[in-house]
A and B are shown apart, each in its own frame.
Chain A
Amino acid sequence: MSGVDLESINAAFRDFVPHNRALGLEVTGASFEPATATLRLPYDARFAGNPDSGVLHGGVITTLLDACSGASVYFKLQAPTPIATLDLRIDYLKPATPGRDVFARAECFHVTRNVAFVRAVAYHDTPEAPIAVGNATFALSTKGRPVTESDLSFSGSTP
């Protein structure tokens, strides 16, 4: 996509975040308007839930959707605001096919001063044929603390 430097995004997203690096997650697409992120999880037998079938564990799909959802919030805010996942709800529609990479696409479709709202989908070929779908909300400017009264009066300016 034009205007998006995937190399520097991956430097921040993958190289800087140990768990994303351990999974081999890669940002393969991003846009600001609408605010979307696309991630690739390369197939790895170490992430299987059943070593016989090689089907990926649901937990790694959860992580993929969480990471992708968070990335879409950054593209919505276009500022390095600290965020924290408040909740994440996932429907598992079908198992991932063993041996195949899994992609995720997330869109941050709404943002207020304190909260960002995201929907996300995990798939092999197209988002129209989903493996799992998710909805997530994120608290903005949290710095990892529980949200306090002072957060609720946050002005929304970039820190």
Chain B
Amino acid sequence: MSTALAKIAEARKSGDWMALLDWVPYLRFLGITLENRDGVLTGRMRYAEHLVGNPTLPALHGGTLGALLEAACQFEVLYRAESAVLPKTITLTIDYLRSAKPQDVLVRARIVKQGRRVVTAHATAWQENEEKPVASATVHLLVMA
């Protein structure tokens, strides 16, 4: 078993998804954390100056929001769906709805459809108000080797 799959099995057993997330260098670089409250995973990208993509507005870089949304979908699939392999992103479609202020961003994902080979997930990211999302994304993930 690869280290990645061992880490996933560990997280499933202990419920400590933050340990798995912390193992991923790029998610640490973005400052993403994950909270499991009553079985609902909520991610958070902590504001840091290096996430800024537009210093005049200022606004967070759109790429960081895309990465956050994709990661949220991957973790939701790992958490909810049985997958013997690491879910691999096939396609990612991001809608940018509002400019993201230099503040924390929250994210939540849901499984739209669980197929045998492909899982479709949707994630929404917001700042102060969940009703006013800054971005959302649909991700198709391959869950079969």
B90 / chain A contacts, CB cutoff of 8 Å:
91-92
In the complex, the chain B residue whose C-beta lies closest to that of A50 is B4
Return A43 CB to nearest CB of chain B, in Å: 12
The 0/1 profile, CB within 8 Å of A marked 1, for residues 18-43 of chain B is 00000111111110000000000000
B64 / chain A contacts, CB cutoff of 8 Å:
19, 59, 63
- Tell me how many residue pairs across A and B have CB atoms closer than 8 Å: 131
Which A1-55 residues sit within 8 Å CB-CB of chain B? 16-22, 45-52
A141 to B25, CA, bound (A): 36
In the complex, the chain B residue whose C-beta lies closest to that of A91 is B91
Partner-binding segment picked from B95-103, B110-118, B120-128: B95-103
Do the beta carbons of B3 and A60 come within 8 Å of each other?
no
B2 / chain A contacts, CB cutoff of 8 Å:
52
- B46 within 8 Å of A (CB atoms): no
Given contacts A18-B50, A22-B50, contact A58 B92 (CB under 8 A): yes
- B107 within 8 Å of A (CB atoms): no
Return B98 CB to nearest CB of chain A, in Å: 6
Do the beta carbons of A47 and B26 come within 8 Å of each other?
yes
Return A63 CB to nearest CB of chain B, in Å: 3
A89 / chain B contacts, CB cutoff of 8 Å:
91-94
Partner of B53, one of A17, A50, A52, A62: A17
A53 to B92, CA, bound (A): 22
Return A3 CB to nearest CB of chain B, in Å: 27
Q: Which of A17, A45, A85, A86 has the most CB of B within 10 A?
A: A85
Do the beta carbons of B29 and A62 come within 8 Å of each other?
no
A143 to B99, CA, bound (A): 9
The 0/1 profile, CB within 8 Å of B marked 1, for residues 114-125 of chain A is 000000000000
- A159 within 8 Å of B (CB atoms): no
B54 / chain A contacts, CB cutoff of 8 Å:
17, 144
Chain B residues proximal to chain A, CB less than 8 Å: 2-4, 23-30, 49-55, 57, 59-64, 66-68, 70-71, 86, 88-99
